Structure 1
Amino acid sequence: MSTDMSYTTEEIAKLLKISKLTVYDLIKKGELTSYRVGKQMRVDASELEAYKQRARMVPAADSYVPLHPQASGSAGPTGSVVITGHDIGLDILAKYMEKKIPGIRPLRSFVGSLDSLISMYKGEADIVSTHLLDGDTGEYNIPYIRKILVGSSYIVVNLLIRNAGLYVQRGNPHGLTTWADLGRSGLRLVNREKGSGARVLLEEQLRIHGIKPGQLAGYGNEQTNHLGVAAQIASGEADVGVGIEKTASIVGQIEFIPLTQERYDLVMLKTPGNQLWIPSLLQILQSDSFKKELQAISGYDLSRTGEILFET
């Protein structure tokens, strides 16, 4: 292994046969030293080899290095903070955190809403973004958070509200206008991956309208982000998919049918270490400068940005 080589977090995950979230957890706990190249985190080959040598010598239960300052005697927040989710608003938030909260290094993990909450339950994420609709109550996020983070102390804060609905081909040749229209025969769907907010939104709407997933051709055709869904429709490979307005404006060769406003929230555990930076994060979310930057992006409603929605 050349000492001049370096690896992305995805490559490290494949080499060690672990999840990318576990790689972030190793970085966060100080077991792997990383550095930033643009928006990408990288780990040198020599650092990876050193970690593997330590792992052979030290039992796994004893291998963790304390992150939080109360364990190390530091006076302020320090270490890496893993932020999960896909929305570009999270990238802007990470940039503000890096500038405004000394000692904090934000790391981005691009996973869906349900997997994000599960990773938080496992201690692998610090700030989780979620947009999960509970079809029975019409409520976003809180019902899922309460079920998954049982026994945890946490705070839920709104990041933004955005339009969600259907992507269709230009001219809307199938005349789709409602969720119930998905029950028509002959439609080719492009879906999101299991656990994503868009997938949960689709499944809840199908359940509410009595449409069986097996009725939809392409239900198993999965993409891992909104751009992938939009691209398949733009190329004619599919007729319809679920996504958000912003991505439709980026692709430009499709049309967007708005059907709901989804609340995109942030969840943070109220651990002693996290509470050193949570007040600063709330200040960022409520600041005029942060909101002004988000306002430049189409399709966002910032009327509740920074509002504490639920707290245990």
Structure 2
Amino acid sequence: MICGQDLILDVLSNLLRQRGVMALRAYIGSYDSLVSLYHDRVGVATAHLWDGASDSYNIAHVRALLPGIACTIVNVTWRMQGLYVAEGNPKRITGWADFGRDDIRMINREKGAGSRVLLDEHLRRLGISGSRIAGYGQESASHLALASAVGRGEADIAVGTEKIARQVDGVAFLPMQRERYDLVVKTEHLPRPEVQALLSVLRSQAFKAEFGAIGGYDLRDIGRVICET
């Protein structure tokens, strides 16, 4: 079972099925994905969890959530994370500090989602408490739902990926941070045929060509081993 919510994982799973490998999907956020990997509820996790202390992605969280377990982190893609605002940006929002304004209402991702962790880390660094932000406790489980809420005028701001903003009318995107989206596998499971098949598909030219044409994905490091914990 492959955890994660990006479209790229659906295509990856379909290509695996074409090779005779049964690949089920679990649409859960990065934090819960790693916890599920720790408990052997899934075979492959995905993550885009930023650590503000080290200004890096995933490695610190993998070590914290899978203590004592050797894991291999493999890149899937780089994406741009940023802010969804109303078209024309009527509130003149420019960055993370605007979450502290009294005239701003947001909509949030669920706890454990990579975008939620990204926001919370920036708020922590700025000394802004979530309890001060209107709408902080209003949660939704997808980038599309957040962008749609901003487009309908139900919120002034939300955090999500650039690709989704292109799909929703009435929404502008403010790029804030380039993020690394990775697969995480227990190292002892790497020799398994299904894991080797997954890595083979991920590194194939056909897979790269399909997502290179879609746009919104930076595939320069796809399939590269980022770290062995």
Tell me if TM exceeds 0.5: yes
Aligned match of 1:99 in 2, 9, 18? 18
Equivalent in the alignment of 2:110:
193
State TM-score, norm by structure 1: 0.71
Equivalent in the alignment of 1:83:
2
Is the counterpart of residue 161 in structure 1 residue 78 in structure 2?
yes
The whole-number CA distance in structure 2 between the counterparts of 1:279 and 1:83 is: 14
Instruction: Specify the SS of the correspondent of 1:171.
Output: coil
Equivalent in the alignment of 2:139:
222
Residue 281 of structure 1: CA displacement? 2.1
Is the counterpart of residue 244 in structure 1 residue 161 in structure 2?
yes
Instruction: Specify the SS of the correspondent of 2:226.
Output: strand
State TM-score, norm by structure 2: 0.96
The one-character-per-residue Cα deviations of 1:58-79 (angstroms, maximum 9, x if unpaired) are xxxxxxxxxxxxxxxxxxxxxx
Comparing 295-304 and 254-263, the one that deviates more: 295-304
Equivalent in the alignment of 1:183:
100
The letter for the 2-side match of 1:151 is G
| Larger RCO (CA within 8 A; separation ≥ 6) | 2
The whole-number CA distance in structure 2 between the counterparts of 1:222 and 1:111 is: 14
Residue 298 of structure 1: CA displacement? 2.3
Identical-pair percentage: 43
CA contact (8 A) 2:190 2:196 kept: no
Equivalent in the alignment of 1:13:
none
The whole-number CA distance in structure 2 between the counterparts of 1:311 and 1:95 is: 27
Alignment of 1:1-312 (within 5 A): 82-100=1-19, 102=20, 104-271=21-188, 275-312=192-229
The whole-number CA distance in structure 2 between the counterparts of 1:222 and 1:148 is: 23
The letter for the 2-side match of 1:276 is P
Equivalent in the alignment of 1:62:
none
Which consecutive residues of structure 1, in runs of 5 or more, have no partner in the other structure?
A: 1-81
The whole-number CA distance in structure 1 between the counterparts of 2:92 and 2:79 is: 23
The one-character-per-residue Cα deviations of 1:210-247 (angstroms, maximum 9, x if unpaired) are 21112210000100010111111111111000000011
Residue 286 of structure 1: CA displacement? 1.5
Instruction: Specify the SS of the correspondent of 1:296.
Output: helix
Residue 154 of structure 1: CA displacement? 2.1
Instruction: Give the RMSD, CA atoms, in angstroms.
Output: 1.3
The whole-number CA distance in structure 1 between the counterparts of 2:109 and 2:190 is: 34
Instruction: Specify the SS of the correspondent of 2:221.
Output: coil
Instruction: Specify the SS of the correspondent of 2:167.
Output: helix
The whole-number CA distance in structure 1 between the counterparts of 2:166 and 2:219 is: 19
The whole-number CA distance in structure 1 between the counterparts of 2:52 and 2:160 is: 17
